[in-house]
Amino acid sequence: MEFALVAQTLDILEKTPSKIQQASTLAMLFKKCDPSSIDKVIYFIQGTLWPDWKGMPELGIAEKGIQKAISIALNIPENEVEKLYKSLGDYGLVVERLKISRERKSAGLTAFIKSEKIAEKKLTVDEVYSTLAKIASLQGEGSRDIKIRLLASLLSSANAKEAKFIVRFVEGRLRLGVGDATIMDGLAIAFGTSRDIVERAYNIYPDLGAIAKMLAGQGPQALRNIKPIPGIPLRPMLAERASDPSEILAKAGTPCLAEFKYDGERAQIHKKGKTVWIFSRRLEDITSQYPDVVDAVLKHVKADETIIEGEIVAVDPETGDYRPFQELMHRKRKKDIHEAVKEYPVIVRLFDCLYVDGVDLTLKPLSERREWLKKIVEESEEFRLAEHIVVKDVKELEEFFLKAIESGMEGLVVKSLGPDSVYQAGVRGWLWIKYKRDYKSEMIDTVDLVVVGAFHGKGKRAGSYGALLAAAYDPDTGTFKTVCKVGSGFTDEDLAALPKMFEQYKLSYKHPSVDSDIEADVWFEPRIVMEVIGAELTLSPIHTCCKGWVKPGVGISIRFPRFVRWRPDKSPTEATTTKEIYEIYMKQLKKVTIPSEKPESY
């Protein structure tokens, strides 16, 4: 399959803001794809070589390396490439521009080649993929030069458009504004199936390349047979939020299950014989950080093959008391993991069971999944089920909530026990409801926002950023809509680190998926998520979040926002959504303007 077809499609996608049109453009490409190469096409569009959970591919070619590769491929001095880059600000455009002028010059020669019927060599998808995979696989001394030469040879065989996208891929900046949701729409259209079927398959088997291959090779029927597989993470089920206990019980139904909400790291634990994998909330393989958890699984889990879920929680090595989530970060940073295991011990609290020895439990009700969990786990202090009770009324729920808070928890997760309480992989729904301490205070709950731009600092903050422009995610349009500027809550160290931290995401223009009426001093790719708390939500004419939802031309913003912490465990599309912001606003509004009881003078 020719790579030119992919490059032409990417060129169209780049200029197509409408998600619907993007999906039909993708569908046209998918229909033309060779079933043996369609997975590689999908990964290329996703800007990766394989799904993240297989380990993030590192191409390891920085800007200078790209510059050199272009100079070798086009046989021109590096400083000329650099000069052009300074004016265009994008190596993709640089190589495209240089290639076009070279192609024009050699137009006469091409005419000769055609007249002589000498076949032009066309770059194939497989060649592009295998060269990029080779680049990613090279490591160690001397590998930098080989990587650059491989890229140069790829660029010299590519035409202008192909070269543009190959360079952008290597830079990790395809800038297409095409998310997984649009790719799924494209697949559903191309292979005549429903979007729900593609999405369910993706939630159980989060590899769009493999799903596309099944669709192209075997048709939609193949997706119906997808089951959880030990070693391949499922997208996690997530909880809705609510603050009123009666509302929680009304939504969850009674009796329901109330569990402690532990402040740790979510762990999806897979076991197959003696092999154990631990996947994070973002489906990263974090097994190497928790050798002690691996040992506990081998010791306490009786099933041969299983997928269970729980929270890994840091505990004080002296007292055994729970420690906050941040303590687990030491495990990621420490070089000697065995030392870290001693210094920062953890325990595991389990809350779900998705698969046991060939049986898919995702479509079974929670009570049945928990029965399995109890059956296959030999509980111990460091590895047992989450603290829980079955509640029937508000009084029981409130008492257990207070117990959770007193025990140092964030609050509770209340779960439906109804017959349809299935495991909704990848879905944030009302079958699980989080009830957190913050809702009890005057403050609103924290929200997770994506940093899309920044403003230069003044005075004490000169040289760094004075504030970050933060946005909520709108899954319907796949865009990030601004909701506030965050300038407080940062420590001096946080502030000093900002420019370096965001350097790699800097853009000279607003990213196509960012919807902002405010002009930031600097734009960023929407990559970094931060947790923010504010005093209240308010209507705002300058922010685009929920614009027009409450009043025409007016959006919703956060008043007095403060930075709480970075959320490296969340991807931008997992940030708080515009719909959630709207719901928080409406709830707050109801509290202020609609008294639940009639006033005395009524």
Residues annotated as catalytic are 261
413 binds ligand ATP (CB under 6 A): yes
Binder of ligand ATP out of 39, 207, 259, 525 (CB under 6 A): 259
Footprint on residues 206-245 left by ligand ATP (CB under 6 A):
238-239
* Residue number, 30 or 260, with CB nearest to ligand ATP: 260
For residue 256, the minimal CB distance to ligand ATP (Å) is: 13
Footprint on residues 544-583 left by ligand ATP (CB under 6 A):
none
* Residue number, 259 or 515, with CB nearest to ligand ATP: 259
CB neighbourhood size of 101 (10 A): 12
For residue 349, the minimal CB distance to ligand ATP (Å) is: 7
323 binds ligand ATP (CB under 6 A): no
Instruction: Name the residue among 539, 533, 547 with its Cα closest to residue 477.
Output: 547
Binder of ligand ATP out of 262, 290, 401, 473 (CB under 6 A): 262
* Residue number, 292 or 410, with CB nearest to ligand ATP: 410
Evaluate whether 473 touches 577 at the Cβ level (below 8 Å): yes
Phi, psi of 151 (to 5 degrees): -65, -40
* Angle formed at CA 500 by CA 494 and CA 502, multiple of 5 degrees: 90
Footprint on residues 152-171 left by ligand ATP (CB under 6 A):
none
Name all contacts of 405-408 with Cβ < 8 Å and 24+ positions apart.
Answer: 405/437, 407/260, 407/322, 408/321, 408/322
CA distance 12 to 72: 28
Q: Which residue has the tokens 């504010």?
A: 534
* Residue number, 88 or 443, with CB nearest to ligand ATP: 443
For residue 448, the minimal CB distance to ligand ATP (Å) is: 6
**Dihedral sign, Cα of residue 337, residue 386, residue 352, residue 395:** negative
Per CB under 6 A, the segment of 7-15, 109-117, 254-262, 328-336 that binds ligand ATP is: 254-262
Residue spans of alpha helices (H) in 391-526: 394-406, 492-503
Instruction: Name the residue among 452, 448, 453 with its Cα closest to residue 578.
Output: 448
CA distance 458 to 567: 26
Per CB under 6 A, the segment of 9-17, 110-118, 256-264, 470-478 that binds ligand ATP is: 256-264
Binder of ligand ATP out of 311, 327, 474, 525 (CB under 6 A): 311
Per CB under 6 A, the segment of 259-267, 488-496, 515-523, 587-595 that binds ligand ATP is: 259-267
Binder of ligand ATP out of 201, 223, 347, 386 (CB under 6 A): 386
For residue 259, the minimal CB distance to ligand ATP (Å) is: 4
- The contacts of residue 587 (CB under 8 Å, 6+ apart) are 243
For residue 472, the minimal CB distance to ligand ATP (Å) is: 13
For residue 479, the minimal CB distance to ligand ATP (Å) is: 20
Instruction: Name the residue among 453, 513, 482, 449 with its Cα closest to residue 182.
Output: 513
Instruction: Name the residue among 306, 319, 309 with its Cα closest to residue 273.
Output: 306
For residue 313, the minimal CB distance to ligand ATP (Å) is: 8
* Residue number, 168 or 281, with CB nearest to ligand ATP: 281
* Residue number, 172 or 408, with CB nearest to ligand ATP: 408
Name all contacts of 32-35 with Cβ < 8 Å and 24+ positions apart.
Answer: 32/5, 33/1, 33/212, 33/216, 34/1, 34/125, 35/213, 35/216, 35/217
Hey, is 440 helix, strand or coil?
A: helix
Q: Count the site residues for ligand ATP by CB under 6 A.
A: 13
CA distance 591 to 48: 46
* Residue number, 239 or 242, with CB nearest to ligand ATP: 239
Residue type, 149: R
For residue 391, the minimal CB distance to ligand ATP (Å) is: 14
Q: Is 361 exposed, middle or buried (0-12, 13-18, 19+ CB in 10 A)?
A: buried
* Residue number, 434 or 511, with CB nearest to ligand ATP: 434
434 binds ligand ATP (CB under 6 A): yes
Instruction: Name the residue among 583, 554, 539 with its Cα closest to residue 444.
Output: 583
Residue type, 169: F
Residue spans of alpha helices (H) in 205-349: 208-218, 221-224, 245-252, 291-300, 329-333, 337-343
* Residue number, 260 or 563, with CB nearest to ligand ATP: 260
Footprint on residues 325-364 left by ligand ATP (CB under 6 A):
351
H/E run at residue 169: helix 160-171
Per CB under 6 A, the segment of 34-42, 146-154, 205-213, 258-266 that binds ligand ATP is: 258-266
For residue 134, the minimal CB distance to ligand ATP (Å) is: 37
Contact letters for ligand ATP, residues 436-475 (x by CB under 6 A): ----------------------------------------
Per CB under 6 A, the segment of 64-72, 178-186, 261-269, 334-342 that binds ligand ATP is: 261-269
- List contacts with ligand ATP (CB under 6 A): 238-239, 259-262, 266, 281, 311, 351, 386, 413, 434
